[in-house]
Chain A
Amino acid sequence: MSGFLLISLILLPLLGSLVAWPERWRQRLAPAYSLVPILQLLVVISFWTTVQAGEGIQCSWPWAPSLGLYLSFSLDGLSWLFTGLISGVGVFVFVYAAFYMADDPTLSRLYRFLLLFNAAMMGVVLADNLVLLLVFWELTSVSSFLLIGFRSHRAAACEGASKAFGLTAIGGLVMLFGILAVYAEHGTFELSVLLADSTSISTAAGLCFLVAAFTKSAQFPFHIWLPSAMEAPTPVSAYLHAATMVKAGLYLIARLTPLFADDPTWSATVTSVGTVTLVWGGVLACKQVDLKALLANSTVSQLGLIVLLLGLQTEIALFAAVLHILNHAAFKGALFLTAGTVEHEAGTRDIRQLGGLRPLMPTLTVAATLASLSMAGLPPLGGFLSKELFYESVLEADLLLTTLAVAASCLTFLYSFIFFHGTFFAPAFHSPQQQHASSHAEQHSTLGLIAPIVVLSGLAVLFGLVPSLAEALVTPAFTVMHGAPPLLHLALWHGLTPALWLSVLTVILGGSAFLLRQRFLGAIREHQAAYSFNRVYSDSLTGFTRLFQWTRALYMTGSVTDYVRYLLVALIVGLSLPLWYFFGVTPPRVDMGGIALPEYYELGLAGLMAGAAVMCCRAHSRIVLVLTLGLVGALMSIFFVLFSAPDLALTQILVEAVSLVLFLMVLRYFSIMVVVPQPHISYARGLNIGISVGIGLLVSGLLFAAIVGPSLPSPIPSYYLSNSHLLAGGYNVVNVILVDFRGFDTMGEITVFSVAVLGVLAMVELGVRGQRPLGTMFMVSFPSPILQSFARLTLHLMLVFAIYLLLRGHNAPGGGFIAGVLTAVAMTFQMMAFHVESFSQEMPWKPLHLVVVGLLLAAGTGLGSLLVGYPFLTSAIGHYSFPLLGEIELVTAMGFDIGIYLVVVGTSFGIIRTIAED
C-alpha cells in the first residue's frame, strides 16, 4: 500500500502532465493543475511518521530483469526531505504561476511541462535503481530544456535551453559511464544493495557521478548554464533553477556520501569544486544588474557552499549542508518570485532602473527583505543558523578554507543587500516609463503574486526563530547520510563561539562593502572579462563547427571521381597487408597440377582482350570507345566458346549486339566524333594511373591467391551433373541450374531486368526534355522498300529461331534469356527499317505489358508449387508426345523460362524503343 502511495508521487504529476483541457476551458481550468503538488504534499506529510522513526519504504517491480533493470523505489529521510521540497515549493510556484501568467494562453502548457519536471524530479530522489535514476535525471534535463526555451521565439531562450541541456547531458553521459562501471564491478544497479553492503566503489566511478552532480548543480566550470537558464519564465526559475532541479546534484552527492566516506579523492574534489564555485558565484552575483541574473549567480554560489559542506563530510558539515538545502529553498524561492512580481508590476528587472518600490508594495518589501537577510545570514533568520554551522565546519578544516568562507559570505551579504535595497529602498529612478510602471503596479498588485512570497519568507523566518522545526525536518536526512542521529542541536545562541565572531566580521566587512559600493560596483559592472567561460563555451562551439565544416569541405568534394578514388585507395591499402601476409609470410605451396597450359591461339585471344581494353582507355572519340567495348564483348564471347561455355557465348554476343544498338542510339545526343580531351592536370592523371595499376594488380593478386592457395573439394558440380537429367529433366546443366537448381537467382535476375525498363521509362518520360539528337545516326528517316521487305523476312525467321532456342533450352544451348534477346534484336531491326511511329502502330501492345506478364508468369510458376504443397519453385516433370515434335519432356520450369523470355523481350526492346521514340 505504502509502495503505491510512494509511486503516486511520480504518477500523479506524470498523469497530470498528460491531461489536456479542452480548448474552450483551457485557460480557466489551468490552475487546477496545482492540485497535483498539493496532493503530493499531503502524501509526503503522511510519510512523516515513518521517516521520523528512521524507517523507509521500498517497493520494486521488475522492468527488464535480464538487463538488471527494476522499477525500484525507496524513500528514506534524505529522499523525504527532497520530496518535501519538490512538492512544497511546487505548491507555491504553481499557485504563483496562475497569477503571474493569468492572461497568457500558454499557461496550460507551462503547467504540463512543470508537472513533467515534477514527476522527473520525484523520480530522481525516489529511484533506487541507478539506471532508473538516470532515466529521471535526464528527464529533468529534458523538461528543463523545454521550460527554459518556453518563450521559444526569443533566440536567447533557445540558446540558454540548449546550453543547459548540453552541459547537463555531459554529466548524464559520464554518469552512465559510472553506472556501467559500477555494474561491471558489482553486478547490480540497486542503490540499496550497494549501500547496504557498503561496498567500495572505485574512485573513478565515483568521479563520474561527481561530474554528473556538478553539471546538474551548476558547479564550476559548468556553472555557466544556470544564468543563461534565466530566460525561463520566473516561476520556472524559482522552481527548477533555485529550489529543486539544481539540488538534484546535491542529492546525488549526499546519497553516495556513505559509499565514499573514506575516499580522500572524492572528498577533496567535492570540497575544492564547491569552494571555487562558492567564491566565483559570489563575485559574479555582485556584478549583475538584472535581478534574476543576480539571483542565478547567487544560486551558483550557494550551491557551491552546500557542495563544499558535503565534501567536508564531518558531522557538522553534513548537518549544515542539509539545513542549508532547506533554508536556501525557502529564501531563494521567495526571492525569485519577488523578482517575478517586480518585473510583472514594474516592467523591468534592471536594478539600475528599479528602486523606490517600498511605498508601492509594502508587504512585498517586508517579505523580500526578510528573505534577503536570511540569505545574507543574519539572525534570527534561518540562513543565520546554517551560516553559523558553515563557519564551524570550515574552522574545523583549515585556515585557507576559513578565509575563503568569510570572503564568500561577505559577497553574499553584499549582493543580498544590493538586491533588496536596490529594488525597494533606493531612490526611485524617475523615468517616464518607471512612472507608468509604478502606477501600473499600484493598480494591479494582486494577492496571488505576493502571498506565496510571504509564506516562503515566513518559512525562512520560522526556521530561524524555531530552530527545532528545521532540525526536525532535516534530521532524518542527516541520519541517512551520516549513519547516526546528530549529536548537535540547533539554537540561535551558542555563546561567543569563534563562528559567531566570524559572523560579526562578515557583517562588518560586508556592511562596509555595501556602504562603499558606489566606489567599485560601477567599475566591476563595466568590466568585461577578456575571456569568460561563456566565451569559451560559445567560441568552442563555433570553432568546432568551423573546423568540421573546413575538414568536411576538404574531402567531401561532391565529385564522384574523388569518391571512387577514396574507395579504391581504401581497398588497395586494406588488402595489400593481408595479401602480403599471404604471399610473403605464409607462402602457399603452388600446385600447378590440373591447370592447363595455354595454347598459342588462346594467348592470342588474351592478348587481343588486353589490347582492346587498353584501346578503350586510349579511345579519343566516343564512337571508337563504344566500338572497342563491343570488341571486348565479342572476344569474351569467343573465350566462352573456347572454354566450354556455349550458353554464355550466345548470351554474350547477343547482349553485346543489343548494348551496341543502345549505345549508338544514345550517341546521337553526343557530339560523337569530337575528340575527347585527356585530363590536362598531369598529377591527377598520374594518380589515376597509379590507382588503376594498383587495382589491376590487386585483383590479379586476389585471384592468384585463390588459385595457388589451399582449397576444399566441392561436391556441388558432380551433384548437378549427375542429377540434372535424373531429377530435373534437362540435359543442359547450365540451363537447369538457372531455371531449377538456382532458379531463385533467376527470379531476382529478371526482377532486376524488369526494373531497368521501369526505371528507364520513368527517367526518360519525366523531367525536362532537353536537346534534340544531334544526328539521325541510323534511324531511317524515309521508308526504304528493300530494307523493309528484308526486315519482314528476317523478322519471321528470327522469331521462329528464337522460339526454337527457347524450347530446346533445357537440353541444349538456348533458353529464355537467349531467345528473348534474339527476339528483341529482331524487333529492333524491324523498328529501324520502318518508322518508329508506324512501327508503334503496328505493335499495339507495350513492352511493359510483356514484362509484367512475364514476371507474373515466372512468379506464378514458382508460387504454383506452393499450392500443391511443395516449396517455392519446385519443378515437376512430365512426358508428353506432340505431333511433329515427338515425345517431349515438359517441365514446369518451362513456364518459368517462358516468363524469363517475355521479361527479356519486353525489357530489351522496351528500353531501345523508349530511347528511339524520345
Chain B
Amino acid sequence: MDFVIISVIGVLFGCGTYLILQRHLLRVVVGLSLYSHGANLALMVSGGLTRGNPPLLTTEAPYVDPLPQALVLTAIVISFGMTAFATVLAFRVRQVYGSDVVDELAGGEE
C-alpha cells in the first residue's frame, strides 16, 4: 500500500506544481493546499501504514507509530493557518488590483 500512496503523493505534487504555475492566484493557493496534502501523506507513510491499529491505549495492541500522526496534526493546523492567510491575501489582491492574474502582478524589480 505504501507504494500506492507514494504514487498518489507524486500525483498530488505534480498537480500541485501545475496549479502553482498557473496564472490565477486562487489556483496557486489550491496548488499549495495539494502540496500540503501530499506532505501530510508522506509523513503518514514515514511511520508505516497499518490498518485498524489506532494509537488509543483503550483499544487492543498492536498500535501504529503515533508520532507521525502527531506531526501530521501539527502540519494540518499550520497549513490551515497558512492557507487561510494565503486565501485572504488572494482576496485582498483581487480587491486592490481588481485582478488575481499572477502575471499582472509581475514587477517590483524596478
Are B20 and A558 in touch, CB under 8 angstroms?
A: no
Answer whether residue A629 sits at the interface, using C-beta atoms and an 8 A cutoff.
Answer: yes
Contacting residues, chain A, for B94 (C-beta < 8 A):
669-670, 770
Are A696 and B14 in touch, CB under 8 angstroms?
A: yes
> Which residues of chain A from 546 to 564 have any CB-CB distance to chain B below 8 Å in the complex?
552-553, 556-561, 564
Tier of interface size on chain B = 35 or more
Are B12 and A613 in touch, CB under 8 angstroms?
A: yes
Contacting residues, chain A, for B13 (C-beta < 8 A):
695-696, 698-700
Q: How distant is the Cα of A733 from the Cα of B65 in the complex, in angstroms?
A: 10
Flag A520-564 by CB within 8 Å of B: 1 or 0 each. 000000000000000000000000000000001100111111001
Are A556 and B109 in touch, CB under 8 angstroms?
A: yes
Contacting residues, chain A, for B102 (C-beta < 8 A):
559-561
Are B83 and A659 in touch, CB under 8 angstroms?
A: yes
Task: Give B80's nearest chain A residue, CB to CB.
Answer: A655
Are B80 and A659 in touch, CB under 8 angstroms?
A: yes
Flag A191-209 by CB within 8 Å of B: 1 or 0 each. 0000000000000000000
Evaluate whether A596 and B81 lie within 8 angstroms (CB atoms) in the complex, with A561-B103, A617-B19, A679-B22 already known.
Answer: no
> Which residues of chain B from 1 to 39 have any CB-CB distance to chain A below 8 Å in the complex?
1-24, 26-28, 30-31, 33-34, 37-38
Contacting residues, chain B, for A679 (C-beta < 8 A):
22-23
Q: How distant is the Cα of A143 from the Cα of B88 in the complex, in angstroms?
A: 54
Are A721 and B88 in touch, CB under 8 angstroms?
A: no
Are A643 and B14 in touch, CB under 8 angstroms?
A: no
Contacting residues, chain A, for B7 (C-beta < 8 A):
606, 610, 700
Are A659 and B96 in touch, CB under 8 angstroms?
A: no
| Highest count of chain B CB atoms <10 Å: which of A633, A640, A907 | A640
Contacting residues, chain A, for B28 (C-beta < 8 A):
560
Are A734 and B87 in touch, CB under 8 angstroms?
A: no
- CB of A728, distance to nearest CB on chain B (Å): 11
Answer whether residue A32 sits at the interface, using C-beta atoms and an 8 A cutoff.
Answer: no
Partner of A639, one of B30, B41, B81: B41
Could you say which of A89-97, A488-496, A751-759 contacts chain B? A751-759
Contacting residues, chain A, for B1 (C-beta < 8 A):
595-599, 602
Evaluate whether A756 and B82 lie within 8 angstroms (CB atoms) in the complex, with A564-B20, A707-B2, A813-B56 already known.
Answer: yes
Partner of A662, one of B3, B56, B87: B87
Instruction: Give the dominant DSSP class at A's interface.
Output: helix
Contacting residues, chain A, for B76 (C-beta < 8 A):
648, 651-652, 655
| Highest count of chain B CB atoms <10 Å: which of A603, A663, A767 | A663
Are A767 and B96 in touch, CB under 8 angstroms?
A: yes
Contacting residues, chain B, for A603 (C-beta < 8 A):
4
Contacting residues, chain A, for B52 (C-beta < 8 A):
644
Are B56 and A812 in touch, CB under 8 angstroms?
A: yes
Contacting residues, chain B, for A640 (C-beta < 8 A):
44
Contacting residues, chain B, for A62 (C-beta < 8 A):
none
Answer whether residue A704 sits at the interface, using C-beta atoms and an 8 A cutoff.
Answer: yes
Answer whether residue A911 sits at the interface, using C-beta atoms and an 8 A cutoff.
Answer: yes
Q: How distant is the Cα of A703 from the Cα of B57 in the complex, in angstroms?
A: 30
Are B15 and A613 in touch, CB under 8 angstroms?
A: yes
Answer whether residue A430 sits at the interface, using C-beta atoms and an 8 A cutoff.
Answer: no
Are A688 and B21 in touch, CB under 8 angstroms?
A: yes
- CB of A234, distance to nearest CB on chain B (Å): 41
| Highest count of chain A CB atoms <10 Å: which of B52, B58, B84, B88 | B84
Task: Give B45's nearest chain A residue, CB to CB.
Answer: A703
Q: How distant is the Cα of A394 from the Cα of B55 in the complex, in angstroms?
A: 95
Contacting residues, chain B, for A659 (C-beta < 8 A):
33, 80, 83-84, 87
| Highest count of chain A CB atoms <10 Å: which of B14, B41, B52 | B14
Could you say which of A421-429, A742-750, A833-841 contacts chain B? A742-750
Are A915 and B88 in touch, CB under 8 angstroms?
A: yes
Q: How distant is the Cα of A742 from the Cα of B74 in the complex, in angstroms?
A: 10
Answer whether residue A471 sits at the interface, using C-beta atoms and an 8 A cutoff.
Answer: no
Evaluate whether A692 and B14 lie within 8 angstroms (CB atoms) in the complex, with A622-B26, A734-B69 already known.
Answer: yes
Q: How distant is the Cα of A625 from the Cα of B48 in the complex, in angstroms?
A: 31
Contacting residues, chain B, for A568 (C-beta < 8 A):
17
Contacting residues, chain B, for A626 (C-beta < 8 A):
26, 30
Partner of A753, one of B40, B67, B77: B77
Contacting residues, chain B, for A177 (C-beta < 8 A):
none
Contacting residues, chain B, for A737 (C-beta < 8 A):
66-67, 70
| Highest count of chain B CB atoms <10 Å: which of A565, A643, A658, A703 | A643
Are A911 and B24 in touch, CB under 8 angstroms?
A: no
Are A770 and B95 in touch, CB under 8 angstroms?
A: yes
- CB of B66, distance to nearest CB on chain A (Å): 4
Flag B63-102 by CB within 8 Å of A: 1 or 0 each. 1111101111110111011111101111110111010101
Are B48 and A594 in touch, CB under 8 angstroms?
A: yes
Task: Give B66's nearest chain A residue, CB to CB.
Answer: A733
Contacting residues, chain B, for A750 (C-beta < 8 A):
77
Answer whether residue A764 sits at the interface, using C-beta atoms and an 8 A cutoff.
Answer: yes
Are A614 and B90 in touch, CB under 8 angstroms?
A: no
- CB of A157, distance to nearest CB on chain B (Å): 28
Contacting residues, chain B, for A111 (C-beta < 8 A):
none
Evaluate whether A617 and B51 lie within 8 angstroms (CB atoms) in the complex, with A598-B4, A813-B56 already known.
Answer: no
Contacting residues, chain B, for A689 (C-beta < 8 A):
18
Q: How distant is the Cα of A699 from the Cα of B103 in the complex, in angstroms?
A: 27
Are A669 and B57 in touch, CB under 8 angstroms?
A: no
Are B78 and A752 in touch, CB under 8 angstroms?
A: yes
Q: How distant is the Cα of A756 from the Cα of B84 in the complex, in angstroms?
A: 7
- CB of B29, distance to nearest CB on chain A (Å): 9
Partner of A645, one of B54, B87, B105: B54
Q: How distant is the Cα of A700 from the Cα of B45 in the complex, in angstroms?
A: 11
Partner of B69, one of A636, A645, A703, A753: A645
Nearest first, the 10 A-B pairs at minimum CB distance are A770-B95, A696-B14, A700-B10, A737-B70, A756-B81, A733-B55, A559-B106, A717-B65, A692-B18, A692-B17
A-B contact pairs, 13 of them (CB 8 A): A613-B14, A613-B16, A626-B26, A632-B34, A662-B87, A662-B88, A689-B18, A700-B7, A720-B66, A734-B70, A745-B70, A752-B82, A811-B56
- 9 more A-B residue pairs beyond the given contacts A616-B30, A696-B15, A813-B56, with a C-beta to C-beta distance below 8 A: A610-B11, A626-B30, A644-B53, A697-B14, A700-B13, A733-B63, A752-B77, A771-B95, A904-B77
